Structures are given as structure tokens and as C-alpha cells.
Chains A and B, each alone.
Chain A
Amino acid sequence: MAGNLWKPYSRVPLLGWFFGALVAVTLERLAGAPLAQFLGLQKIPVLFGFSDMLKTPVSIPNVLLYLLAVYVVPAAAVTRLGASPANGIAAALYRFPMAVTAAVHLALLYAVLHVWAGASDYRVLVLRLTLIAVMLTLSLNVINGYMGEFSCSHPGFMALGAYCASVLTIGLFVDAELFGAASLSPALGRFLFPVALVLGGLLASFGGLFVAIPSFRTRGDYLAIISLAFLFIVKSLIENLEFVRGPRGLSGQPDWADLPTVFLWTVLCVWSVNNFVRSTIGKALNAVRDNEMAADAMTVDTRKTKIAAFLFGAFWAGVAGGLFAHVMRYVNPGNFGIQNLAEVLAMVYFGGLNSVYGSIVGAVSISLLGEALRPLEIFKWIIIPLLLILVMIFRPTGLIAFRDLDVASLLKPKANPGEGG
């Protein structure tokens, strides 16, 4: 029975799912509020109703009904009915260059996210932080998953990027008491913001060198310590730098990291990481992980490989840090401590090592779970670790490990068997 229900959906291309989701979120924007009122809910359930259900268990049936009426049924119906037109459009799109096809899909995905998040500011914030978590997790997966090191310095890279980008934007575009009046007009800032982020990423890469160079001579636990020491040093350094206000933190970043910006950067990050790990040097990463000596014998330049992985991972961590600073519009050194490290590590190992899919799944599920379980207060920090322990026991390499993200096969139309492949 379940198999029969599911069967038509196996022929739906990605495009069809996007159409379904778009209809569902549009429906929520149009009819969500009256429906919620009708069902006796105070307002539309923000994060799929998790917090409402946990706060007031009485409302569980109503919330479920709401979810069914707004998301599940319309999305399922549109996806099912629209499968063959969607396949047609996907097939037509597939004939264009891959960049065009991918751009159309991404535009649709963005539309879905935009409409969904438009309902409340809280959703926009959660979504932006989730996307930043995706970037962080991916960049850590390059080092910890693909290269098999246990690097603990990621919050340090993130801090370098966050502070560098913040100092640039605040110093140049904002009349702050810290750095004096703005020297450039804020109108220009929108265009120079990416430059600030990239510079932050480059500074983080430079920091990455301090971990990469010791990694020539040692690895495993000793490298873990070196990276941990690096994290302590960066944090302590920032705490002692008076011109970024030390432990009091830096605030007043301009509000430029809006949803489209963060989305674009995330797409760029996923794209470049996916290409990086499938390039020759990406394959060399796996070789270094599995057996460094054998890789060396097979003419893999292990030093170059290690440097590349650290610089690349640190760069994206720095960019993510810069975005984080501009989303929160306040950073202090306490943001980038052991707590943050544990969170990012959890996302990487939960989602799956050596896998772009896995990182996306891990980052999204842990971030959303963290937000959804917020009403449980501290018990949240018992449930999430327990979940992770279970995942580690039953799938030690994470949920979706060792899987390539192949864009072409993802976007391919899924024709009916009768019509041939």
C-alpha cells in the first residue's frame, strides 16, 4: 500500500518537488493566518509547529491538521499531478547548458525559501543562520571528513573572518565611535561587502597556515592539539585587542547580510566545495587520509594537498564568520569558543563524513532541531547529544557518508519507464 502510494513520486524530478513546495508556501502566505485562527492557534506555527506542540500539548491535533492542510496535502497533490509537466520542463531545461539549468532550479529553491521565510522575521533569522551553518559544516568536512584530520580550529577561522569583515564594514561605511566617521558612502557598501567577506576569508586562510604547516610533521591527536591551541590563541588574541573592544565585542555591523546574500554565498560555497572535492586535489585528500605514505609513493604531493585543504576550509569558515557577524550584527570572542566547536563537529559527524549531502543534512537538521526544541529549555541539550550518540553507535560515519553530490543526475528529468531513459 505504502509502496503504491510512493511509486508515482519516484518519477517526480527535483523541479516537480520545487513546484509543490512553492505552491504550499504560497498557500500558507495567502491562507495561513485565517486557517490558523480557524483552528484555534494564536498565529501560524513558525517552525512547523514544533514549539507550539511542545509548549501546549493540547494543540497537537490542531497543529498537525494545519501542517497537513497547508504543507502536506497541497505539496503532495501538486507534485503528483504536476509530475509529467514538470518532467517536460525539466527535460527542456536539461538541454540547456548545465549552468542555466542549475540557475533555474536555484531560483525556484530561493523563491520557496523566500516565500516561506517572509511570514516572520524569526524564520528569516533561523534560515540565515542555518545557511551559515551549512557553509561551516561543509568547510569543516573538507578537513575532517575528506582529509581525515581532527581539526579543532574552525571557530578560530570563523572568528578571524568575522572580525576582519566587521572591522572593514564598520570602519569604512558606518559612523561608529570606534573607527570614526564613515569614509565611503554606504551606497557603495553593498558592492564592497563581498570584498570585505573575501578579505575576511583570506585572513582566515592565513590563519589556516598556522595549522597546516605543523600538519606536515604530525597528524591525528597532535594536530588536534595544535589546532585547539590555535583556537585558544585566536580567542585570547581578540580578547586582548583593544581596537576591536576586546571581550566586550563588536557591534553595529551594517545589515547587509540579508537572505538573498546569504543564500548566494551558500550556493557559491556548496558549488566550490563540491568541485574542489571532486577535483584531482580532492581525490588526493582521500588518498592522504587513507594512507599518507602510499599517497606519497603514488606521486601525490601531500604537503600541497594538506595546505590546499586547510586554506580552502579556513577560507569558507572565514566567509561564514563574516556573514554570521553581519546577521547577528554583534560578535564577541565568546561566540567562537569550545561550545561552538562542539556544535560544528556535531553537525559534521551527524550528517556524514566525506559527503556534501551529509554536511547539508547535518547542518540543517541540527540547526532546525536546536530551534525546534527550544521550549524544552535545558533538556534540549540532553536530547540532541543522545540523538548524536545513537547515530554514532548505529552509523559511525554519520547519516549520509561517502556520497558524491552529482548535480547532473540530480537535475535530470525522471521520465516514465514507457518513454525510455
Chain B
Amino acid sequence: MAVFLQNLVNALQWGSFYALIALGYSMVYSILMLFNFAHGDIFMVGSYIGVGVSMALIALSAWGNVVLPNWLILVLTILFSMFLTSFVGMIVERVGYRPLRNAPRASAAITGLMIGIILETGNLALLGARRVSFPSLIATATYDLGGVFVTNKKIMIVLVSLLLALALHQFVRRTKWGMAIRAMAFDFSVVPLMGVPLNRMIALTFALGSALAAAAGILFGVAYPVLDPYMGILFGWKAFVAAILGGRGSIMGATLAGFLLGFTEIFVAMIFPSTLRDLIAYSIILLILTVRPHGFFGEPYSARLRL
């Protein structure tokens, strides 16, 4: 039982990375009906920006008279990096997706893939092949809850990601911009006629998704401090699977599916040898998609898919 609970805690942490990244995929998909294949690499860029921002803040607090407590540095790092990374997302949209809005969707997928490769290689060219490690801002405190070990980092990661998912949900449900995004997901061609600035809303969507990816990147850096330029590839593709599994453009679906993917991977590794993790986890996903081809919360396959 303790082992089960322990793995549950680990799975919650692992799933929250997937959930945050999947949200970005899902947001963009609900509007443009295409997947931003550079998203995994935006997660990576966000993580590196996080390293830069936190180092700058540490240096500032060491040099200046204001001594910032470490938790404040972490909070500021998350906020600043989310802000900066949202610009990366908007640039990607402007360069890679806007010129291709009327092209076949597969072409846009290819530009996304290529932008991803450029981001990875650009990072490698700028920083060299050495691995960058995330500065440790908060000391790990471990709590023993009846044989289950929970660290303060894990609690923070799960809470922050749930909070962000909830915030996004509220934003999309309650604000005027959120309403515009939902309207565009409903009907892309009529909404501009109602006076909604199309390009600005699409840029906003990319910015939101990228900000969440940056948050995921920093949380990842807190949990696993060693970063490398290719870390976004596998995370990106797996979160893409989660976004599909959740259903088209569903925020709740993407969050749930992200956690579900985390659970599946961790629990498969618990029961079977860990080398079988991908094999069994993806067979389960294949099975789910065979039964529910449109995911948990998506609409069934229809002529609306713009191919």
C-alpha cells in the first residue's frame, strides 16, 4: 500500500509536467486545428530562460542592497520566464504558422518540426554541449506520512500546475478574451466578422500555451536540475499524445490526460521492468484510442477536420 501511495505521489508530479505542456497543445489546436510541434522545444526554451532569469535574480540580490528570499526568487523566476517565453511562442506563430494559415495543415506541422530543430540547435550553438543545471532555490524537505515520502518540491509542483490549469480554465470561461478564443474554436470563419481581432487572439493563444510550457520547464528544472537541449523532444511528443487523448481543445481533457499518462507510465514501471514502460503505456493508449478514437472529451470525427 505504501508503495502504491508512493508511486501515486510520483505519478502526480510526473503527470503535472505532461498536463501543463498538453494544455498548450490543446489551446492552439482548438483554434487553428493544428498542433504546434515546436511546443516541446518551447518547454525546453522556457526552462533555459528560467535558469537565466533565476541566475540574474540571484546575482541581483547578491549585488544589490535588497536581499530577496529564495522562495520569492522562485516565484519571480516563474512569472518572468512565463512572460518572456510567451514572446517566444508569439514569434514562432508569426514566423512559422501565420504565413501558412491557408496551406495544408501538414505543411504547418513540418514548419513546426523544423522550428523545433532550430530551437534545439540554436541552444546548442549558443551554450555549447555542456549541460546546464538549474540553481537550487529551495532546500528539499521530506515529510514522512506513514511510510510515504513527500517532498516540499513535489507538493509545490503539483499545486502550481493545478493552479495554472485552473487559472487557464477560468480565463477561458470568464474573460472577454477567453470568450473570443472559445468562439474561434467554435467557428473560425465567422468570428472575425464579429470584430474579433483574429491575429491578436491567435498570438494570445500561443502566448498562453508557451507561458504554461515555461512554467512546466521551470518546475521540471526544480525537480530534475540537469537540463539539456533535447529534453523537449520526448516530453513534447508525449504531451502531444496526452492532448489528443484528452480530446480536441478540451482544457479539462488535456489536464486529465496529462495526469493519466503520468500515472500509466509510473505504474507500468512499478509493476513491470522499467524497460517495458513505453511498450505497455503506449499499447494502453492505442487501445483507448481504438475504443474512443476522439479522446475523452473530444467530438467524434467529422467533416469539420480541415485537412
**Residues in A lying within 8 Å of B, measured CB to CB:** 144, 148, 150, 210, 214, 217-222, 224-226, 228-230, 232-233, 235-237, 239-240, 246, 289, 293, 338, 342, 345-346, 349, 353, 378-379, 381-382, 385-386, 388-389, 392-393, 396-397
Contact = CB atoms under 8 A, between A and B. Distances in A.
B293 A218 contact: yes
Interface stretch (B55-63, B172-180, B272-280): B272-280
Residue among B240, B282, B295, B305 with max Cβ neighbours from chain A (10 Å): B282
Interface stretch (B105-113, B148-156, B163-171, B215-223): B105-113
Contacts of B240: 225, 228
Interface stretch (B3-11, B46-54, B81-89, B118-126): B118-126
Contacts of B251: none
Given A221-B244, A236-B282, A338-B237, A396 B114 contact: no
Contacts of A246: 275
A349 B282 contact: no
B114 A346 contact: yes
Given A217-B301, A293-B303, A379-B125, 13 more contacts: A144-B106, A224-B244, A232-B279, A240-B279, A338-B233, A342-B117, A346-B110, A381-B117, A385-B117, A386-B114, A389-B111, A393-B100, A396-B104
12 contacts: A214-B290, A226-B290, A228-B241, A229-B241, A230-B286, A236-B276, A236-B279, A236-B282, A381-B120, A389-B111, A389-B114, A392-B110
B107 A222 contact: no
Nearest to B280: A236
B258 interface: no
A233 B286 contact: yes
A219 B96 CA distance: 24
B103 interface: yes
Residue among B104, B106, B289 with max Cβ neighbours from chain A (10 Å): B106
B307 A148 contact: yes
Interface residues of B, number: 49
Interface in B67-116: 95-96, 99-100, 103-104, 106-111, 113-115
B35 interface: yes
B110 A349 contact: yes
Nearest to A349: B110
B241 A222 contact: no
A385 B118 contact: yes
Nearest to A211: B286
B182 interface: no
A47 to B, nearest CB: 22
B269 interface: no
Contact of B279 (A148, A210, A228, A233): A233
Nearest to A341: B113
